[in-house]
Structure 1
Amino acid sequence: PKGHELIAQFTNGKHDANSYVAPPRYFAVLIQQHAVDSGATFVQGQAKAPLVENGRVVGIQARINGSTESIRAKMVIGADGVTSVITRALRPENNKHVDKHRAVALRAYLEGIEEMPQTVEFYLYDEILPGYAWIFPTGKNTVNIGLGMRLDIFRNHNEKLEALLDKFLTFPNIKQRLQNGNRLRDIATWQLNFGSQKNLQHAFDGALLVGDAAGFINPLTGGGIHNAIISARLAAETVNDAMTKGDTSRAALKVYEDLCRQEMWDSMKRSYFLQRTLMNFPFLIDILVKRMKENSALAKVFLSKL
C-alpha cells in the first residue's frame, strides 16, 4: 500500500516445471480430452436444473442443440462453476455463502501496454484490500488485467468494478506504460465463493458438488483450480465406493465432506486468517514486503505457500 516493490522468482513445480500463463479454456479442453480418452462420452450442452424425484437427484435437465432434454444418471457431479444451477437448486437457503466469504472480480484484456515478459504482477492497495489487482502478460503488448475484492467490502464502496479498474490504470507506474490507442476488450465480471465458510453441504442424495460449484476457492488468492482438482479426486473415490456398494444416498456420500475438510480446511483457515489480517492491518503488508526484499529465502517460502 505504501509503494514498496518485491521482485521474486516462483519455485518450479514437479519435474522442475516452469510456470506458464494460459487462458483457462486451454486447461478445460485438456481435462475434457483426458476424460474422453478415459472412456467418458462428451456432449456439449448447458445444465439447466437437476432432476429430482422424491428428494433424490436422478439426473439433470440440459439445453442441447437448442432443445431441453432430460438426462438420467445414477450420480450427478455438480461441476458447473460458481454460478452452478445444481448448487442453487440443492442447497437450502440457510446453507448459502455469506458476503464475507465471497468475492467479486473483473478481468479484461488490455491491448497497447508495455508488458513485462515472463513476469506476473500483483498490486495490493488500500482501496481494494484484502483483494488485489493483477497484470499477466498474454502476448506482445497485450495483458490479462483485472482486480478482485471481498463482496461485503465491494458493496460498501458503492462503485462499479469498471470504475475501480479505470482508477488502477491511472496509477503512475501503470499509466506510463500505456501506449497510444490502448483499449480494453473482453471484459468479464464474476463472483467467487470461498472455501472458508464452515458447514456448507456438498453431498446430497444422488449428487456431489466439486470445485467452484462447491465453493472451494482460496480466500486469500482467489485461485480455484488446485482445490477443484483435489475435490474432483475425492469425489471420484467417494462415488466409486458408493456405487460399488450400491448406495448413493447422502448418508453414504457424506464421507466426501469429511475428506474435503481433512484435505483442504487447514489451508482455507490459514488463508482466511491472512486475508482478514491484511484487511485489518494493511501496514503488515509493507513490513512483509520489506522483509522479503532483504531475505530472498523468505520470499520463496512465502510465494510457495500462496
Structure 2
Amino acid sequence: MVDFASVRAIDFHTHAEEPCCDHRDDGYNEFQAGMAAYFKNPAGAKGMLPTVQDTAAYYRNLNIAAVIFPVDAERETGFRRYSNEEVAGICAENDDILIPFASVDPHKGKAGAREVRRLVRDFGVRGFKFHPTMQGFYPNDREACYTVLEACAEEGVITLFHTGQTGVGSGMRGGMGMRLKYSNPMYLDDVAVDFPDMKIILAHPSFPWTEEGLAVAQHKPNVYYDMSGWSPKYFPETFIRYANSILKKKMLFGSDWPAITPDRWLADFEAAPFKDEVRPLILKENALRLLGETV
C-alpha cells in the first residue's frame, strides 16, 4: 500500500490512456494528436502515450502517489479504452504508488450501478471519474445518471467530475462532437444537494465558469477542487485568491498526466503566488483527508 507518510505529494488526476497505434480506426489517434498540439506534448502526437505500468514507474521515481483512471466514453465517442478491471489490476500490482479510480458511463443505469458496486467491492476502487463533455450528459439529469451516482454514494466512494474547457476536443473539427455546455460546474450544485454525504471533486479550474465552480465548492461542504488540466501559471487570479484563503483546505494537486506532466505542473506551481502555508495542503494534506488516510 502507498506509504502516505513518505510520498512528497498526491497527484489526484492522472489518466490511464491506451497507447496510440497506426491501426486504430476509432478516431482516438486524431484525438490524441489534437490534445498533444494543445498541450504542446509531443508524446501523444508520436503515439508514445505511457501505459499504466509506465505511469507507475514514472511516479515511483518522483515519489508521488497518483490517482489514476480510464474514461468510459465509448458510447459517445466510439473510443476504445482500458477496462476498469485491467486498470485496477495494474494498480494492485503497483499499490505502493497508484490509487485506483474507475469510470462508468452514467447512461448505463442499473447495469452501471452494478458495475460500480462490483468494482468497489471486488477490485478496491476508491472513486469514479465522470466526464460530462466526453460522456454527453448533464450531471444533474436525474433520469440519465442518478442511478449510477446513487451507487457511488451508497458505496461511500469519491466522485470526480470534469468541469469547464481544457484541451479535450480543442481546435478539432466540430470539437470532435464534444459539447462544452455539459461541463458547467453549476450543474454539480444540484448533485451536491441531492447527495450531501458524497465527496465530489470539480476537476480543472472550470473555465469559463471559474467563479461558478468556486461558489459551489465554497457553499457545499462535500465539494472539492482538483487543479489539473492547466499549468498554474495560467490560473485565473480569482482561483488563486480562493485557494489561498477560504478554499485552502479544498484544493488538490492534479496534473492531468500524460497531457501535463507533474514535473511541469510542480515547477509552475512553485513560481505561482501561493502562500507557503497553503502549498502543503494542496500538494498532499487535503488529499489525505479526502481519502480518509492518516500519517
TM-score greater than 0.5 by the shorter chain? no
TM-score between the two structures when normalised by the length of structure 1: 0.25
Q: Which has the higher helix share?
A: 2
TM-score between the two structures when normalised by the length of structure 2: 0.26
Q: Which has the higher strand share?
A: 1
